[in-house]
Structure 1
């Protein structure tokens, strides 16, 4: 796991081809807005979270965020323990995100 600033995160997701963005917040938080191209996998739903993670391609790079950076750091650690080699945590999370945002 590597913690990235917003600038590092934005540059990486703009320039990397093998990137997946994971939002580990709750559905309610997601409904308030999210980073475009993100996939919601709520870490507070442990069984669903693990089921979803087990379906992920370990060869990709995973950029993971939550509201403030704590849950996403935990998610990165879980993925790292499962053999994922490229996990990146957004420092400050979505609450400090100044990049593009989307709502359904």
Structure 2
């Protein structure tokens, strides 16, 4: 697990052919927009979140974000404990994101 700045996260993501973007916010928060191609798994869903995480390919590189970086940091720590090789937390979350955002 690594906490990455906005610029480093975006740079690594753009260069990574094995990347998966993971949005761990609530469904309501998604209405404010999301990073393109993100998979939504709400960390507040408890066991459903854990079940969904366990179905993911542990060999992929996960770029994880939430609103401000706290929940995504927790998700990265959980993923690391579950044996995921690479999980990158977006410091500052989508609130500080200056890249592309898809609006519903």
Decide: shared fold, TM above 0.5.
yes
1:28 aligns with 2:34: no
| Structure 2: distance between partners of 1:54 and 1:91 | 24
Q: Size of the alignment, in residue pairs?
A: 104
1:16 aligns with 2:16: yes
The match for 2:73 is 73
| Structure 1: distance between partners of 2:70 and 2:24 | 10
Runs (4 or more) in structure 1 with deviation over 6 Å come to none
> Which residues of structure 2 form unaligned runs of 5+?
none
Does the residue aligned with 1:44 lie in a helix, a strand or coil? helix
TM, length-normalised to structure 1: 0.97
TM, length-normalised to structure 2: 0.97
| Structure 1: distance between partners of 2:31 and 2:50 | 22
